[in-house]
C-alpha cells in the first residue's frame, strides 16, 4: 500500500532540502521535552517554580528567531531570495499553527477540560498523530515513529500510569530528535540530483 505512495514521498522529500534550516526546531523542542521529563523525574519542588515554563519559553523564542533568520537569509541553493519580505512573513506564518496548538492545550488546562496530570499524555498523542501524518506524506519511518510513540503512551498509561508525566515527556523529546535525524538524512539525497543536473552542462 505504501509502495503506491512512493511518487508522493519522493516529491515531498525533494522539498525538504529547502527547509533544512528549520530542522533545528525539532532538536530545540526535543531538548525542551526531555528537559521537562528530567525536571519531573528530579522533582519540580527542588527547582524554582518558573523553571519548567522557562524552558518552554526559551524554546519558543529560539524557534521564532530561527524562523525569522531563515526568512532573512539567502535561499539554501545559494541564490538570493527574490522577495526577502515575503520569505520573512512566510516564516512567521509557519508559527501560527503551532502557536494555536499550544494555546489550545493551555486553554484546555485552564478550564480543567484536561487534568494537568494527563496533559503530557494528550501532547504525546497529538505528536504521534503529527508523525503519522508526516509518515503518509514522506515515508514509512515517520509512520512507524508515530505508531511507536502511541504504543509507548499506551503501555505507560495502562501499566505505569504514575510514571506517565516523566516517561512520556522524555519519550516525546526522543521521538522529536529521531524525526529531526530522519528528515536530515532525507535532505542529503535531495541535494544530489540538483548538483548532477547543474554540473552536467559544464562537461
CB-based contacts of 130: which residues, under 8 Å, 6+ apart?
146
pLDDT band of residue 163 (cuts 50, 70, 90) is confident
**Tell me: the pLDDT tens digits for 64-91?**
888 777 655 544 444 444 444 445 566 5
Contact indicator for 55, 35 with CB cutoff of 8 Å: yes
Amino acid at each position: 500500500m505504501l509502495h503506491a505512495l512512493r511518487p508522493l514521498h519522493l516529491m515531498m522529500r525533494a522539498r525538504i532540502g529547502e527547509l533544512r534550516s528549520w530542522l533545528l526546531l525539532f532538536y530545540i523542542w526535543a531538548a525542551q521535552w526531555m528537559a521537562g521529563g528530567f525536571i519531573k523525574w528530579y522533582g519540580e519542588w527542588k527547582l524554582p517554580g518558573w523553571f519548567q515554563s522557562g524552558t518552554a519559553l526559551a524554546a519558543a523564542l529560539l524557534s521564532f528567531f530561527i524562523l525569522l533568520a531563515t526568512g532573512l537569509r539567502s535561499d539554501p541553493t545559494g541564490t538570493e531570495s527574490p522577495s526577502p519580505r515575503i520569505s520573512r512573513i512566510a516564516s512567521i506564518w509557519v508559527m501560527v499553527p503551532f502557536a494555536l496548538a499550544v494555546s489550545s492545550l493551555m486553554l484546555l488546562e485552564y478550564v480543567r477540560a484536561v487534568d494537568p496530570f494527563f496533559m503530557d499524555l494528550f501532547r504525546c498523542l497529538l505528536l504521534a498523530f503529527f508523525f503519522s501524518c508526516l509518515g503518509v506524506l514522506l515515508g514509512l519511518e515517520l509512520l512507524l515513529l508515530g505508531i511507536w510513540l502511541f504504543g509507548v503512551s499506551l503501555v505507560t498509561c495502562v501499566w505505569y500510569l504514575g510514571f506517565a508525566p516523566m516517561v512520556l515527556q522524555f519519550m516525546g523529546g526522543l521521538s522529536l530528535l529521531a524525526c529531526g535525524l530522519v528528515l536530515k538524512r532525507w535532505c542529503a539525497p535531495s541535494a544530489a540530483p540538483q548538483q548532477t543536473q547543474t554540473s552536467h552542462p559544464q562537461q
